[in-house]
């Protein structure tokens, strides 16, 4: 019995169309995310790590060169699950309530937050992630390369956008900026972000 399985998507694979196609979800979730789960299961099989929760594996293997394979796959399983939950059909726009207030307090305005988030997503060279996080009583925007994640840094993730090419290439080709704009304007799941807060 494998220790980890692919978590179900929070919506049908065509639910984000026309912004993200069912074909993209099929490859991204069905192939990439599944492969991280399969690799993680192979790497932890027969080790004490197999008994740990996914979050604990990420935290315990972060920064350990001899556990880089385990970390990369565990973190990517976690990051992708978080990414699916960071989106919803008919999402995007401006958040309301305490999250809107926290964004205004931390960034000055929602537009300033959008600029910071977009900049993080576009300046992440190569593969990686843009995040809205909570740390030290404030909200911040950070970017992480490859499989790196706020979870490994003791930060509280609220929302993420995957900027690995496989997240958007079938729909947007090299237009990462267009993908990030659609993520913020049409897909971001602010209710999920509020629950994390």
Neighbouring CB atoms inside 10 A of 66's CB total 7
* Closest CA relative to residue 93, chosen from 162, 21, 187, 180: 187
Structure confidence at residue 189 (pLDDT): 98
Give the model's pLDDT for residue 152. Answer: 97
Radius of gyration of the chain (CA): 16
Name the token pair of 166: 């496989």
Residue with tokens 């220790």: 3
Q: How far is 197 from 100, CA to CA, in rounded Å?
A: 12
The stretch 15-33 carries a mean pLDDT of 97
Q: How far apart are CA 136 and CA 46, in angstroms?
A: 38
| pLDDT at res. 2 | 74
Q: What is the distance in angstroms between the CA of the first residue and the CA of the last residue of the chain?
A: 34
Q: How confident is the model at residue 83 (pLDDT cuts 50, 70, 90)?
A: very high
Indicate whether 1 pLDDT > 70.
no
Residue 20 pLDDT more than 80?
yes
CA distance linking residue 76 with residue 148, whole number of Å? 8
Q: Quick one: pLDDT at residue 37? A: 98
Given a cut of 80, whether residue 17 has pLDDT beyond it is yes
What size, in residues, is the chain?
A: 197
pLDDT in tens, 50-80: 999 999 999 999 999 999 999 999 999 999 9
List, in order of start, the domains of the chain with CATH numbers: 22-85 (1.10.287.990), 97-196 (3.55.40.20)
Please provide the average confidence, as pLDDT, over all residues in the chain.
96
pLDDT of 88 reads 98
Q: Which residues pair with 135 in a beta bridge?
A: 138
pTM: 0.96
Residue whose token pair is 């207030």: 101
Phi-psi region of 17 (alpha: psi -120 to 50; beta: other; left: phi over 0): beta
pLDDT tops 70 at residue 121:
yes
pLDDT in tens, 125-167: 999 999 999 999 999 999 999 999 999 999 999 999 999 999 9
Strand order in the sheet with 156-162: 138-145, 128-135, 156-162
Residues 6+ apart with CB under 8 A from 197: 98, 99, 102, 134, 156, 158
% of residues, the chain, pLDDT over 70: 99
């Amino acid at each position: 019995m494998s220790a980890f399985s692919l978590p179900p998507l929070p919506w049908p694979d065509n639910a984000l169309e026309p912004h993200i196609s069912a074909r993209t979800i099929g490859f991204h979730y069905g192939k990439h995310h599944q492969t991280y789960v399969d690799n993680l299961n192979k790497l932890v099989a027969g080790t004490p790590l197999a008994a740990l929760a996914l979050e604990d594996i990420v935290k315990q293997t972060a920064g350990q060169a001899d556990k880089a394979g385990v970390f990369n796959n565990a973190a990517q399983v976690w990051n992708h699950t978080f990414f699916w939950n960071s989106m919803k059909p008919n999402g995007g726009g401006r958040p309301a309530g305490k999250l809107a207030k926290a964004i205004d307090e931390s960034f000055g305005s929602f537009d300033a937050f959008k600029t910071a988030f977009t900049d993080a997503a576009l300046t992440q060279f190569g593969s990686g992630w843009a995040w809205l996080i909570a740390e030290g009583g404030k909200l911040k925007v950070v970017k992480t390369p490859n499989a790196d994640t706020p979870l490994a840094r003791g930060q509280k993730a609220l929302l993420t956008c995957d900027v690995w090419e496989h997240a958007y290439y079938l729909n947007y080709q090299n237009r990462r900026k267009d993908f990030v704009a659609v993520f913020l304007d049409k897909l971001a799941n602010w209710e999920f972000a509020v629950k994390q807060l």
